[in-house]
Amino acid sequence: SLLAPNPNWVNGAKGGQGIGPGGYPGTLFPYLATNLNYSAASLPAGLTVVPSGGSPLPNTLTGSVIADVNGTKVGILSAVTPYLPTIANISPVTMTTGSDLTSTTPISQQVEALVTNLLPEIQLLEGADINKIILMTHLQESEIEQALAQRLVDLGAGVDIHIGGGCHRVMSDEATAPPLRLDETQQTSGQLLQPYPQVFSNGTNTVYYVNTGSNYRYLSQLVATFDENGVITSIGDDSGTFATDIAGVDRLYPEVITTFEQVRALADPEIVAIVEGVGNYVNTLDSIIYGQTDVFLNGIRGDVRTQETNLGNLTANANDYYAEQYLVAYGDALLAGFSRIDISFKNGGGIRDQIGQSFIPGGGGDLVQLPPAGNPNVGKEEGDISQLDISNSLRFDNSLSIGIVSAAGLYAIAEHMVARVEAAGGQFGQIGGFRFSYDPTAPARTSATPGARIQNLAVVEDDGRIKDVIVQNGTLVGNPDRTFSVVTLGFLATGGDSYPTVLQNVVSLETLAEPPTLGRADLKAGGEQDALAEYLAAFYNQDKGQAPYNEADTPRELDERIQNLAFRADTVLGDSMALTIQSGVTSVFLDLPLLQSAAGLVLVEAMQFAKPVVTTRWRGIPSVAEDGVNGFVSEDEKALRERILELLQDRERAFAIGRKARETVL
């Protein structure tokens, strides 16, 4: 709807005044990126590519412009993250910084690719007698932007101000409210960037770097004074980052502002009409309810990219349920040999916001996190989860794909999930159907190395019982080629966010007709928004007499699916004995209560039969993996479990073989 009227936004239809009867005319400024090539792309009518170094023109794409600021010429150029193709589908647009960079590429290598691309543009501006240059970037991580700023300083590149974006980190001299929002003062340690601005200098050249938060929570203002040679001589005292809350708005008016109703009465009527029109459209989305929650659903950026969250679990479970409806409907024609989905995973970067309220009450105190707020304008009650909540949190609405993954492939995926946890990379996983532990101090997976962070990984049943152990004590166990059914985002299935391309027999659910067991939600079939809406409507819908979702978010010390060993002990394999019995490519994993005689008893009984026990484990007892040890003859998991439990309850037999058991185990 950039260049044509959108009926959802015009003249009261589905949302009031909206953006005007003529539709949105397009931006009144150019889009800048020195490292994007549009030559193979078919652009929308009215959007054109123009040469770098010209005047700013509406609805244009270019690398740099020269703007007239009160009679002074200022050069402005920009660059996007060089690994953009791994986190977004930009085809047929291509990168001029290379096609082989990923989120795991070392920062120094990314910076050199950017510098090689930026220097000709900077020289173009300097050749036009421009001595005031502003660089704008969207590099995802402040660490990359800081390294780029210092590299430009060392090269004497002529950039004066560097405006960053994409990391969503607030930069401020202050650490209290105001000017920060109260909840910003309780961020995860290290998220707040200080001071404002950050200064990078080598004594001869200087770059001032600024950044701020996302979603219009803050406005950042840098007031710089240049001399006639284009050198910044001072930074104004009124520079800083300002919250867009009531306290922030109050600073703009001579009147004391305490409510947004006061702002509506004082602001430009045309702007008020547009805002209210958009608000009406938003209310329409907020009136469509799919389910309820009694708890805050954590989609906060700094959390979904560094740890398990309850919203991550909920959406992973939803995708699992949704994909199984397709699998039941289409059967072997969709995924031969599987009757259910074993594994669900997605990236934390695909979760864009929380579902619920997060704030500090007036006057200060502790952070309060509550279920979604009610909306009396549309009859929404507190705890209701609306289409607006879902579409706001899962903004990309990625398509879902199912396929199969090998044990070795799942191991590689898990290593990739935690490879950049220190940088809060979007690749961090949110998962269902398996759990794992990892050591964040161990070597991370890179494009050249496999990584060694995963310590234990198990595929599990819905009730948490272990179905198969994949990684034990940092080692892949069992047949690496055994396979599991999986659902994930189509974006990840094809290598997005630099995920290993290890899935096979991949089918996009968007290409199939929606099964008759679904259809409760009027959303795009095959997408993650529809999956969450359908799942909520099926299991957490008070209109059907069901209880709201009530799995509260937990700190890292209590996370079960993704266990960070810097914060908690490893219980992935549980307080149990694990036994994998393999015949050919078939593996059966048994998870049994840990009794004092259990380990030896099972091994002694196993010796009486003909199939190899490829892996055994006891908590606190060394592992045994010997070709000469034989397992039970049956591959019926239920029968095996019942047989072994029966043996364990035979105390007379247990005592009789106790000596042999101890010899076997120890």
Say if residue 254 is in the same domain as residue 320: no
Say if residue 208 is in the same domain as residue 139: yes
Helices H, strands E: what count in the chain? 16, 36
Prediction pTM value = 0.74
Mean pLDDT to the nearest integer, 466-493:
94
Give the CATH number for residue 463. 3.90.780.10
* pLDDT score recorded for residue 565: 94
pLDDT in tens, 547-559: 999 999 999 999 9
d(CA 326, CA 517): 9
In percent, the amount of the chain with pLDDT more than 90 equals: 60
Question: Does 361 reside within a domain?
Answer: no
Say if residue 349 is in the same domain as residue 266: no
d(CA 97, CA 63): 13
Mean pLDDT to the nearest integer, 71-80:
96
The amino acid present at 159, given as its one-letter code, is: V
Say if residue 311 is in the same domain as residue 454: yes
d(CA 657, CA 597): 9
Question: Does 660 reside within a domain?
Answer: yes
d(CA 549, CA 347): 22
| Residue 99 pLDDT grade (very low, low, confident, very high; cuts 50, 70, 90) | confident
Q: Domain ends where: 564, 588, 611?
A: 564
Q: Which of 223, 191, 219 is nearest to 208 (CA)?
A: 223
| Residue 192 pLDDT grade (very low, low, confident, very high; cuts 50, 70, 90) | confident
Residue 156 has pLDDT above 50, yes or no: yes
Q: Which of 544, 542, 546, 522 is nearest to 534 (CA)?
A: 522
End-to-end CA distance of the chain: 71
Domain housing 404: 299-353+395-564
Question: Does 367 reside within a domain?
Answer: no
* pLDDT score recorded for residue 367: 79
CB of 664 within 8 A of CB of 603? yes
Distances (CA, A) of 140 to 199, 399, 426: 20, 23, 9
Say if residue 239 is in the same domain as residue 249: no
d(CA 654, CA 657): 5
* pLDDT score recorded for residue 223: 95
Q: Domain ends where: 284, 312, 334?
A: 284
* pLDDT score recorded for residue 591: 46
Q: Domain ends where: 564, 592, 621?
A: 564
Question: Does 139 reside within a domain?
Answer: yes
Query: Which of the 8 DSSP states describes residue 444?
Result: P
d(CA 258, CA 13): 32
Say if residue 213 is in the same domain as residue 255: no
Count structural domains, the chain.
4
Residue 112 has pLDDT above 50, yes or no: yes
Say if residue 153 is in the same domain as residue 43: yes
DSSP 39-92: TT--PPTT-EE--TTB---TTEEESEEEEEETTEEEEEEEEE-TTHHHHS--TT
DSSP 108-150: HHHHHHHHHHHHHHHHHHHHTT---EEEEEE-S-HHHHHHHHH
d(CA 308, CA 431): 8
Q: Which residue has the higher pLDDT, 321 or 658?
A: 321
Say if residue 166 is in the same domain as residue 203: yes
Say if residue 89 is in the same domain as residue 197: yes
* pLDDT score recorded for residue 166: 87
Question: Does 236 reside within a domain?
Answer: yes
Mean pLDDT to the nearest integer, 244-271:
87
Q: Which residue has the higher pLDDT, 637 or 406?
A: 406
How much is the mean pLDDT over the chain? 83
Cβ neighbors of 259 (< 8 A, separation 6 or more) are 246
Angle at 252 between CA 247 and CA 258, to 5 degrees: 40
Say if residue 559 is in the same domain as residue 590: no
pLDDT in tens, 610-628: 334 433 433 333 333 333 3
d(CA 631, CA 614): 9
Mean pLDDT to the nearest integer, 443-469:
91
| Residue 95 pLDDT grade (very low, low, confident, very high; cuts 50, 70, 90) | very high
Question: Does 26 reside within a domain?
Answer: no
Question: Does 360 reside within a domain?
Answer: no
* pLDDT score recorded for residue 2: 32
Tokens read off for 87 = 């986190």
Say if residue 467 is in the same domain as residue 552: yes
Say if residue 89 is in the same domain as residue 198: yes
CB of 603 within 8 A of CB of 661? yes
Say whether 528 sits in a helix, a strand or coil.
helix
Strands 224-226 and 232-235: antiparallel
Question: Does 25 reside within a domain?
Answer: no
Q: Which of 562, 565, 407 is nearest to 476 (CA)?
A: 407
Give the CATH number for residue 156. 3.60.21.10
pLDDT in tens, 233-252: 999 998 988 888 888 888 87
Residue 392 has pLDDT above 80, yes or no: yes
CB of 349 within 8 A of CB of 497? yes
